[in-house]
A = this chain, B = another copy of it.
Amino acid sequence: MKPSLRDRHAVAVSVDCLVFGYDEGQLRVLLIQRRRPPFEGRWAIPGGFVEDGETLHQAATRELAEETGIRKVFLEELQVFDAVDRDPRGRVLSVAFLALVKPSGLKLVAASDAVRAAWFVLEEVPELAFDHRGILDAGLQRLRADLLRRPIGLELLPRKFTLGQLQRLYEVILNRAFDVSNFRKKILGLGVLQPTQDYETDVAHRAARLYTFDLASYRSLMANGFRAF
């Protein structure tokens, strides 16, 4: 690149990964505690600057692994945050990503710029660094909208799950109740769930059948269009 182009139009670009996880019947956000200024010690959404030669998606994946130890997650562009004064160091443009992780094997390993990494229930999220509260709000809105349009909720559940778990996930995230019978009919009618031969164990009531997500029929469903509720 000629120096002129970079000098005249350069902007520092960072990525921020808003990570949602679902565990113990609760939707949780992954936050890190900042090791360095600005906002040293304050909780924030994991992220960092884009390096030369990597795409934003790659940068987001890398930062997530570095700061929290999380790998292999669903990761999708959310929105750009570009208020000119959003970073006290100067003009920094941030591309926010929305990430969804399965609860199984969630071993958080804080490192790099992060002192700690921890999951927070929405109601207990502390004051955040930068404009990260805005990112969280935007991401939550997007998650709720997406849940109704595509089987994105499955990214938050283990490989095998019961319909009860899935229903509770919908109820918790959308903050509304569903009729058991109607929920089953609707979800199974979509044809994206594959029943297995396995059942729940050690529960104080009739054991529920476990289902898995059927990728093939998911694709054909998306090709057409899909609408839950």
Contacts and interface: CB of A to CB of B under 8 A. Distances in A.
A105 interface: no
Given A10-B12, A93-B13, A54 B84 contact: yes
A79 B77 contact: yes
Interface in A87-117: 89-93, 95
Contacts of A54: 84
Interface in A57-101: 57, 77, 79-80, 82-84, 89-93, 95
A1 interface: yes
Copies of this chain per assembly: 2
A14 interface: yes
Nearest to A7: B10
Interface string A1-29: 11001101111111000000000000000
A181 interface: no
A52 interface: yes
A55 interface: yes
A68 to B, nearest CB: 21
Contacts of A77: 79-80
29 contacts: A1-B12, A1-B89, A1-B90, A2-B89, A2-B90, A5-B89, A5-B92, A6-B90, A8-B49, A9-B13, A9-B14, A9-B50, A9-B51, A10-B11, A10-B13, A11-B12, A11-B13, A11-B50, A13-B93, A52-B91, A53-B91, A54-B84, A55-B82, A55-B83, A55-B84, A56-B93, A77-B79, A77-B80, A80-B80
A92 to B, nearest CB: 8
Contacts of A49: 8-9
A90 B53 CA distance: 10
Contacts of A2: 89-90
Nearest to A54: B84
Top-10 shortest CB links A-B: A1-B90, A10-B10, A9-B49, A9-B12, A11-B13, A56-B82, A55-B82, A5-B12, A80-B95, A5-B89
